[in-house]
Every structure is written in C-alpha cells, then in structure tokens.
A and B are shown apart, each in its own frame.
Chain A
Amino acid sequence: MDSKAHWLDRPRNVKRLWRGFLAVLVLAVLAQLAIMLHPHFAVEGVFGFAAWYGFGSCVLMIVAARLLGLWLKRPDDYYGDGDRHE
C-alpha cells in the first residue's frame, strides 16, 4: 500500500478530478435546457436558479459560521474536561 502511491495521491489526477467536477457543474446547468422545469415560484424560473442559489446560500452560511465562530469559539479544553477529546 505504502510502496505505491494511490492514484488519488497524484497531483495530476487531482487536477483531472477538478476539471471533471467543473464539467459536471456546467452539464448540470445545461441539462435544464433539455428538460421541462416545473417552477413552483416565479424566482425558480430564473436561469440556473438552483445552481446559484445553492452556491450563494452556502457561501453565506460559511461566512455566517465564521462570524459566529469569532464570537463563540473557545479552545477545546474550555470546559476543563481533560479526557474529553483523548
């Protein structure tokens, strides 16, 4: 196992995975041209709604979590439980 690097460990393959992922993203958006969408709300009719809404809401949540962390983060021995994490 250790003598030969796993195919996922090679930077070249990671780059390929990234490209493949981006291609899938584009395909997922383009797929909606081929399919009749059934929007329940007007906002859903905007092109690629689920894509940019998913991306935007996740960025927003990550930023919100960071802000929450600035306020509420503590070292993990805060409660003094010595064996809590070991």
Chain B
Amino acid sequence: MNEWVLHPGLVLIVGALALPWLRGSLRSTALLALPLLVLTLVWQVPDGAVWQLHFMDYTLTPLKGDKLSRLFATVFALMAFGGALFALRQRNRFEVPAAFVYAGSAIGVALAGDLVTVFVFWELMAVGSTVVLWCSGTQASYAASLRYLMVHLLGGVLLFAGVAGHIAQSGSVDFARMTLDSPSNGLILIGFLVNAAAPPLSAWLPDAYPEASWSGTVFLSAFTTKAAVYVLMRGFPGTELLIWVGLFMALYGILYALLENDMRRILSYSIVNQVGFMICGIGIGTEMALNGAAAHAFTHIIYKGLLLMSAGSVLYMTDRRKCSEFGGLFHSMPVTTLCGCIGALAISAFPLTSGFVSKSMIAQAAADQHLLAVWLLLAAGSAGVFLHAGIKFPWFVFFQKDSGLRPADPPASMRWAMIFFALLCVALGIWYEPLYALLPYSVDYRPYTGSHVVTQLQLLLFAGLAFFAMLRYMQRTLTITLDTDWLWRRLLPALARGCGVVIATSMAALHRFGLRLGRRLWSWVLRYHGPQGSIARTWATGSMALWVLVLLLGYLVLYYV
C-alpha cells in the first residue's frame, strides 16, 4: 500500500478540466505533455493494491497494478497522446478535454481493483464520450449522442444491478474472475458486453461514432470497446459463450461493412469485427488466447486510430464522407494515402505489420484447443477483414475512379500523428518482442515461421483476388443498411405512437360512455324526482288521508295476526 503513487487516470481527468482555459502554445504543450506524463505514471504503478480506502463496510482498491492492467493503461495513454496530436487543430475547445476525461476513465477502469471503482469510471467514460460527440456540433451528432447515451445508461443500470447483487452474495467487492453461476454475474457480463458492442445492441457503435467530428471519432474508436475487452478478460476468461458472441460479431461486422457507403461507418463496423476476434479469444481462455486478445487490443487501438485519422483527414480536407463521392485522392494526398494503407495492411494482419503478430495468436489458440469450427471461422474472418477494411476502405477512398477531387494533405500536426502511428504499426510488426514482454502471460510463440507467413499471404492475397474479381458487386450505392438501431429509432417510437392512439381512442370511448350513462341517470332522476315525477309531485290531501287509513288498517291487521 503506497499513497504516494499518483493515479494516472485521475491525473488525466483533473488535468483535462484545466485545459479549456488554456490558449495558444501553452495549450498545445499541455495537450501533448499531459498524456506523456500519464504514460510515465502508468509505469510507476507497482504490482498489487496501491490505493485502498474504506467505504461503508467494504475495502475499495481504486488503484491496483498488474501486467494486464498496465498493458491496457499504457495503450490508452498512448492513444490519448496520438489523438491529441492529431486534434491539435480542433477548434472546439472542449473536445480534447472531454476526450481526456474519457481516456482517463478508461485508464481508471484498467487500474481498478474493485467492482465499485470499475462502475464509477465506467459511467464517467459514458459521460466523457457523450461530450466528445456533442462537440461535433451538428444536429445529427446530438441526436446520435442521445441514442448512444440511452444504450450506455441501460448498460450501466444492468452493470450496477449485477455489481450490487454480486457484492450482496459474495460479500466481496474485489474485481476478480467470475463464473456465470448467478443472475448477478450474468447481469455484469451483459453490462460489459453492451460496451463491447455485442449483439443485440451493437448498432449503437456504427450509429454514433461516425457522427463525431473529424478528430472525435479517433478518440471514440479506442476506449469504450477496449475497456470492455479488458474487463471481460479479467472477469470472464474462458466463458464458452464468448467464443460464439465473438465470432458472430466478427462476421456481422464484415457483412455490414461490405454494404456501407460512409467511410467512417465502414471503419466503425470494422471495430465490431475486430472486437469480435478479441472476445472470441477471451472465450477460448487459454494463456495463448488471452495473450492474443490482449496483444490484439493493443495493436488494434493503434491501427484503428490510424485508419480513422486518415479518414478524418479526408473529411477535414473535403468535408465529404461517402465512398461514392471519393476516388483518386492519392494524387494529392500521398501521406494520408500511405498512412491509410499501412493501417489497412495492419488491420488485415499482413506480415511485417502489428496485426500479424497479435491476431495470429488467437487463431493459434483455437488450433491448439482443436476447435476446428472456431479456427475456420476465424480464418474466414481474417480474409474478410482484408476484404472490407484492408482493400475496400483505401480502394474506394483513395483509388478507384478519379473523382476529380484534389485536396492537399492535412496540416502538419495531423500528418505527424498519422506518421507516428504508422511507424508504430510497422515497428510492432517487426520488433514484436517488447509487445510480447508486456503481455499478461509468458509468450511461447513465434509469428514469423515460413509456414505461417505463406499461409497468411495466400489467405489475404486470394481474398484480394475475390475483391477485384467481384468489384462489380461492391460498387457503392447511396444507401444505408438497417441494423438493430432500427428497433429503437423506428419500431419503439412506432409502438409508442400506436399505444398513444389506442389510449386516446379508448379514453374517447370511455368519455362517450360516461356521458351517455350520466344522461340516462339524469333522465331517470327527473322521471321520479322531477317536478312531475311520481315521487316528488304534490299529492291531494284526500289521497294522503286514504293512504294513511290503509296503513293504519294494515297495522291493525298485523297486530292481531
């Protein structure tokens, strides 16, 4: 226990709150220095519980270190740095600070030793990311942010219920490995999976991320889903269900990305696809698989950030986002094209790129466990990644037919951010030992065997052949493809309107019935009690005397009977 170690996540969050008030070069310096400071702080966190505090009857551990935590915190801090460099020219003063709060919360999740801390940072992530979306300033982004927030608050409620139940049952707040033996653990798993963009709510991701600004999407792509990968890896490794959830996500992401026309929505579906690979690895659960999933999360954050930076640069320079409007941009944007292509090769796990040394560990783990179906689907998924992200994205944006657009490369800060991440993608693919040294378990795996390189090249190159052979069927149209967000953008509102109509009609019918009933009652009252009613009208004295006589006679008769 050591109180003198600073919490890297909190440092980033508190620092972010000061940023909106800085100007000029002071601001730029702070934007770049803060993530680097946080990166060094992450490496000061020793193994084991570092901060502990007592809250009610429980001992919370807001800061706890081990290899897995440091791996994720490291890449989150790295991403905050790269993203901040890319976003230096962002004119909105609040976007990068909000992104830092978001990144700091993700680091907080990665370094949390108990479930309460996880939950607190989890919700803070939802807040930070929503503000990043707001900073885009369009009406579409505001509407998308509300849908985004709705899904994440729902996930948060499920997670909170699960955490509360888990603590009540086990009496422990520690965030350790869990099994699916109780409803509360099931709720925790569902809460985690919502953020991982697992079905059926997966549509929140491609709905919201492409609506952020040119720099906002770069930040959004990194933290929420990968923090979810981290908590799944810590909480539910080896849960078989996750294998199938992951494979579904991998294939779903490919099919939707193939149909998509918006360049950043293609890349958003590709995030779901990549997270699917990681979740599948977590489901397999062996040391090799978990190493693979962790390594893949690390490399993915960098190459996906790079891909979205290249897309963001195109958006920044052209103010367009549809593939059908692009083409031939390589003429005037050589740096962006080159960096985008490096990102595309890395996501496709081409030899000599970072994806090659990380993703193959997951496939290797499936082979080691003799899971033939899983291995085959992973291989098909790998080929499909090359199809939708590796070729489709760069082809339709930078090459294909010449659109006549001649935007220049983006300003220097954006170029350097892309070059930095592109270098990382290649460097990690060649000198992979430092990455392997960071992984949670010791690595006994060599990615560059002749057999592996040749089979991977065959798989990818022939996937490329399929793309160009079927190019006719890949041409972009001005369409979207309905996803599950249709449920809450169309079906639920329609149901609500339908219910409104039913309620209004039945209220009107009830009103009419009430009126008729009232009228009938009134006419009945009038008939008997009105001025001419049989009960209320004035009677002649003679008839009164007669009736009194009858009554008295009746009384007399009864008396003697």
Contact = CB atoms under 8 A, between A and B. Distances in A.
Interface in A1-48: 1-2, 6, 8-9, 21, 24-25, 28-29, 31-32, 35-38, 40-41, 43-44, 48
A79 B488 CA distance: 12
Nearest to A6: B331
Nearest to A36: B451
Interface in B124-181: 138-140, 143
Interface residues of B, number: 63
B473 to A, nearest CB: 6
B462 A62 contact: no
Contact of A74 (B380, B460, B482): B482
B135 to A, nearest CB: 16
Given A64-B255, A68-B255, A73-B477, A50 B466 contact: no
Contacts of B330: 6, 8
Given A35-B454, A61-B387, A68-B259, A75 B479 contact: yes
A36 B383 contact: no
Given A38-B451, A66-B473, A76-B478, A24 B461 contact: yes
Interface string A42-70: 01100011111111011111101110110
Nearest to A55: B462
Interface string B460-482: 11111111111001100111111
A51 B459 contact: yes
Contact of A61 (B258, B261, B456, B461): B258
Contacts of A54: 379, 383, 458-463, 466
A43 B375 CA distance: 11
A68 B290 CA distance: 33
B458 A76 contact: no
Pick from A29, A37, A62 the residue with the most CB of B within 10 Å.
A62
A38 to B, nearest CB: 5
Contacts of B383: 53-54, 57-58
B332 interface: yes
B461 A57 contact: no
B234 interface: no
A30 to B, nearest CB: 10
B380 A53 contact: yes
B188 to A, nearest CB: 32
Nearest to A62: B470
B322 interface: yes
Interface in B348-393: 367-368, 370, 372, 375-376, 379-380, 383-384, 387
A83 B451 CA distance: 50
B380 A78 contact: no
Contacts of A61: 251, 254-255, 258, 380, 384, 387
B480 A76 contact: yes
Contacts of A21: 461, 464-465, 468
B47 interface: no
Q: How large is the interface on A (under 10, 10 to 19, 20 to 34, 35 or more residues)?
A: 35 or more
Contacts of B258: 61-62, 65
B406 interface: yes
Nearest to B383: A54
A28 B481 contact: no
B331 A40 contact: no
A50 B406 CA distance: 39
Contacts of A84: 140, 211
Contacts of B490: 79
B489 interface: yes
Contacts of A43: 372, 376
A57 B140 contact: no
Pick from B321, B480, B483 the residue with the most CB of A within 10 Å.
B480
Contacts of B482: 72-74, 78
Contacts of B331: 1, 6
A44 B460 CA distance: 16
A36 B450 contact: yes
B364 to A, nearest CB: 8
B541 interface: no
Pick from A57, A59, A69, A85 the residue with the most CB of B within 10 Å.
A57
B20 to A, nearest CB: 26
B126 to A, nearest CB: 22
B455 interface: yes
B114 interface: no
B481 A58 contact: no
A16 B147 CA distance: 49
B383 to A, nearest CB: 4
Nearest to A57: B380
B465 A25 contact: yes
Contact of B322 (A2, A6, A59, A85): A85
Contact of A25 (B454, B461, B470): B461
A51 B455 CA distance: 8
Nearest to A64: B255
A21 B460 CA distance: 12
Given A1-B331, A61-B384, A53 B454 contact: no
Contacts of B254: 61, 65
B143 A81 contact: yes
B402 interface: yes
A78 B379 CA distance: 35
B481 A59 contact: no
Nearest to A44: B455
A72 B139 CA distance: 25
8 contacts: A1-B331, A44-B455, A53-B379, A55-B466, A57-B383, A62-B466, A73-B259, A73-B482
Instruction: Give the 4 A-B CB pairs with smallest separation, nearest first.
Output: A58-B466, A40-B367, A57-B380, A50-B458
Given A1-B406, A81-B139, 7 more contacts: A57-B463, A59-B466, A64-B255, A73-B259, A73-B482, A74-B482, A84-B211
